[in-house]
Amino acid sequence: MSHTINIRVYYEDTDAGGIVYYANYLRFCERGRTEFLRFLGVENKPLKDQDVFIFVVRHLEADYISSAFLDDLLSVKTSVDMVKNASFLMKQQVLRHDRVLFEMDVTMVCVGTNGKAVRLPENLRKVLEND
């Protein structure tokens, strides 16, 4: 299963030439991951507020394929590719219409209040595996 959100490109997202600044694709993907997890019933704030755990980025690989521009309507597509004991791999794409502009693989780790990796709770593991 995948989840998609739409993002409009504003002036704040672009460089002086009206092209999306490269680091903003990471911001767009962060929003996509957050909304995908929310869609699955997993919200970051309650987990953090209850001192349960948080998700952190351990590793990412990104490919910039083509540029996005001011006022473009982009789609951020997110899916879970693999689930391990304390981490999971997400695949993400930023598209304009059906054209892929950017794609990224990101490994998320479940971290406890002590800053160390902890096992994904079984109920969360099942949700992520059955996405």
Interatomic CA distance for residues 129 and 131, integer angstroms? 6
Q: How many CB atoms lie within 10 A of CB 9?
A: 20
Long-range Cβ pairs for the range 127-130 (8 Å, 24+) = 127/40, 127/41, 127/42, 128/40, 128/80, 128/83, 128/88, 129/80, 129/83
SS3 label, residue 70: coil
Question: Given CA atoms 62, 66, 71, 75 in this order, what sign does their dihedral have?
Answer: negative
Is 15 one of the annotated active-site residues of the chain? Answer: yes
How many residues comprise the chain? 131
Q: Out of 15, 63, 71, 81, which one is annotated catalytic? A: 15
Catalytically active residues, by annotation: 15
